[in-house]
Structure 1
């Protein structure tokens, strides 16, 4: 497949995903979306599944339930009915059925501590994680307004140590193009503390900082991270510590913060990438999209 075709298909798939994030609380009409994007419904579904590994409806369901799982613990004043509507469900019954099927517990059980039990089981599946205890209470986040970020990317299926191979491929691309001024960004399309690790969409991104960059190899597609308001958490550590931070941010900090997270994906900007460093140490800023309640 030619590079331009790959880029065009990737842009279509990413535009669909961004549309889902933006309108997740509505009845998303794929027929109208295909007309708007000037792509047949059949090709829209095929392109999206080729890019993300699952169909559009599966993705909508996953994002709605991830949003609901966060709102249930960060918005204590909303009823189950309120949350089901906010997340785009036509009835409370359909929401309860989908939630129980996905998390194997009711929303009420989730609110009453089931969320931590569920995420702890996911963390148990991480291999060779750091045993060091981190005092997350010492981490003081800052609230920042981040601009839109565009970067070249490689998509990775799963959240495990095989991510290293994806970063190595991206690093090879960087060296091929003699890029010296850039940022490495990890985008989490799925929240790894509420999504089975093998199903997580992890995206390794390089943002070129130089305005004029003559690429020798421009085969990689471009992805846009939307602008927005974020809570920024700075951390250094070893493999496995990032997901521990994410668990604390969502299931402890967010609950007491007075904020809600949005459906936009969170991301990390590396100052030092543990998947590429010899000592396996990372230094990063983790950005959680938020809004004031």
Structure 2
């Protein structure tokens, strides 16, 4: 029974990975059922039962989520370009669907996103994806590295995680203006609070880019350093929006059994492959637990 369930999950995971990698293509029922190796009628029922969304709605939400990321975080694409990439033949049809889903026009969202409706709109998609993404980590997945110190520029986010998107926008805009591309300057997140503190106002994370340049702190960006030293490192691929399960594994499971002791610096990650530059299933991050 367990082997049969694993095989079933593997089929469905193939479908999600195919959708991620081919959002620009025609993702019809015949194509996706073939990926799953089911009849299209049986596949449609199974997909809905597994994920709580129809195939059509899942694809729509995945395309709309990518479109919203491009509008918010990339300034090299027009609303028309984003609409075409999202599978709409005309910008006005995209604008209607976008407004219905997020309560803002694409151009308004591009200038000033309202992130709370965004979180609500894509909650069903993230819930669906999480059903097959319960990654099981083992001690063999963890390596211990001597990490060099890295000087960084920091945009601090302090407050409700629902407003994190605005801080990410500010961070991306600053690093673009500074010419610090993710392909040449590493991206880090340093968590200084729990992911879901009892009071959302206590949420705290530093958005960092590695650089040796002098930092003009009048821009609201601070100079800092990620200290060097020994670290337990765990690579996460796919669902890198929520690294809490990986962090819990390191703290709760790996650390007590390893004989190691945590150093007095927060757990942090380096973003290696970023969505939407790569399909969501190919996003990757290394999680670092500093050790004594």
Q: TM-score w.r.t. structure 2 length? A: 0.52
Shift of 1:271: 4.0
Q: Could you tell me how far apart the structure 2 residues matched to 1:246 and 1:237 are?
A: 7
Q: Does 1:19 align with 2:4?
A: no
- Summarize deviations over 1:153-207 as a string: whole Å, max 9, x none: xxxxxxxxxxxxxxxxxxxxxxxxxxxxxxxxxxxxxxx8464657632444222
Greater RCO, CA 8 A, separation 6+: 1
Instruction: Work out which of the residue numbers 266, 274, 283 in structure 2 matches 1:289.
Output: 274
Residue aligned with 2:82, SS? helix
Question: How many residues get paired?
Answer: 184
> Residues 1-293 of structure 1: matches in 2 within 5 Å?
2-113=1-112, 115=113, 118-119=114-115, 121=116, 193=119, 195=121, 197=123, 200-201=126-127, 202=130, 203-210=133-140, 231-240=187-196, 265-267=239-241, 268=243, 270-272=246-248, 283-285=267-269, 287=271, 289-290=274-275, 291=277
Q: Could you tell me how far apart the structure 2 residues matched to 1:36 and 1:198 are?
A: 23
- Summarize deviations over 1:120-141 as a string: whole Å, max 9, x none: x36xxxxxxxxxxxxxxxxxxx
Larger radius of gyration: 2
Q: Could you tell me how far apart the structure 2 residues matched to 1:60 and 1:248 are?
A: 30
Cα gap change, 1:85/1:196 in structure 2, threshold over 3 Å: closer, same or farther? closer
Q: TM-score w.r.t. structure 1 length? A: 0.52
Shift of 1:235: 2.0
Shift of 1:23: 0.5
The answer to whether the Cα contact below 8 Å between 1:96 and 1:106 also exists between their aligned partners in 2 is yes
- Summarize deviations over 1:198-256 as a string: whole Å, max 9, x none: 76324442222449xxxxxxxxxxxxxxxxx8944232422426x9679979xxxxxxx
Residue aligned with 1:206, SS? coil
Structure 2's unaligned 5+ residue stretches are 142-182, 209-237, 254-265, 279-292
Shift of 1:8: 1.9
Q: Could you tell me how far apart the structure 2 residues matched to 1:69 and 1:247 are?
A: 23
Q: Greater share of helix residues, 1 or 2?
A: 2
Cα gap change, 1:210/1:276 in structure 2, threshold over 3 Å: closer, same or farther? closer
The answer to whether the Cα contact below 8 Å between 1:231 and 1:289 also exists between their aligned partners in 2 is no
Cα gap change, 1:61/1:199 in structure 2, threshold over 3 Å: closer, same or farther? closer
The answer to whether the Cα contact below 8 Å between 1:100 and 1:107 also exists between their aligned partners in 2 is yes
Q: Could you tell me how far apart the structure 1 residues matched to 2:88 and 2:239 are?
A: 21
Cα gap change, 1:100/1:286 in structure 2, threshold over 3 Å: closer, same or farther? farther
Q: Could you tell me how far apart the structure 2 residues matched to 1:94 and 1:276 are?
A: 48
Structure 1's unaligned 5+ residue stretches are 123-191, 212-228, 250-263
Residue aligned with 2:267, SS? strand
